[in-house]
Amino acid sequence: MSKGLLFGFALMAVSSLFGQASPETEATIDDLKVSPMRIPALQEVSGSPFMTTEYKNATIHLKDNKYVADIPVKFNIYNNFMMVKMDDGQELKLDNFKSVTWDEKADDGTLKHYEFAMGYPEIDKHSDRAVYQVLSAGPNAHLLKYISQKVEDANTLGDYSRRELVKSEQLYLYIPGKDIKRIKASKKDIAEALPALASKIEEIAASNNLKLKSESEIVTLVEALNKP
């Protein structure tokens, strides 16, 4: 995919996410706010702290209405931060960004869009600098996923012990300019998080036969809720 087309998808996504009216201006890698990072040693622990094995070329949207395209990024789940690879090969932590977006082509040729953002209200001991995966976003609601990892003892058949990284995922609904709420995969929980949209939720769920027990069905709901 060309750089221009990749950024086109990303720009549409971030405009939807933040209601941005004016176009972004292009910046350079030197405009990124980065810092050294410390990744704890995980010797003798199975599993990877990263969402992807390789770096992905992404568009980074900054908080001053600028963007930087074609930057290699990798999401560190264990530490909850986005990593960038600089031109000199340094791997640094990306600070103070609005969102990071990229697209991947699946085996069937379809594009899967990835978006990560920070700046949401504090909740569940997550500060406003916590990084969430944005599953769907629009003027009425943002569906977010907080991905985390911790080290746990693994069950083994022998006498030896083994430790592994165990991933957890938690969904949140954010009402733009208002609250963020933790939700479970249930129609009741979603309606309670979005009380002003309760009747519309019921209507969309019924017309699309959505049980709202899975992430994909909740994404479908939120996309419908954000349509004019």
What is the DSSP pairing of strand 45-46 with strand 162-174?
parallel
- What pLDDT does 216 receive? 96
Percentage with pLDDT > 90 across the chain: 75
pLDDT score, position 4 = 47
What are the structural domain ranges in the chain? 1-116, 118-228
Angle in degrees, 0-180, between the axes of helices 215-225 and 198-207, rounded to the nearest 10: 120
User: Mean pLDDT throughout 199-209?
Assistant: 96
Q: Residue 179 and residue 157: Cα distance in Å, rounded? A: 47
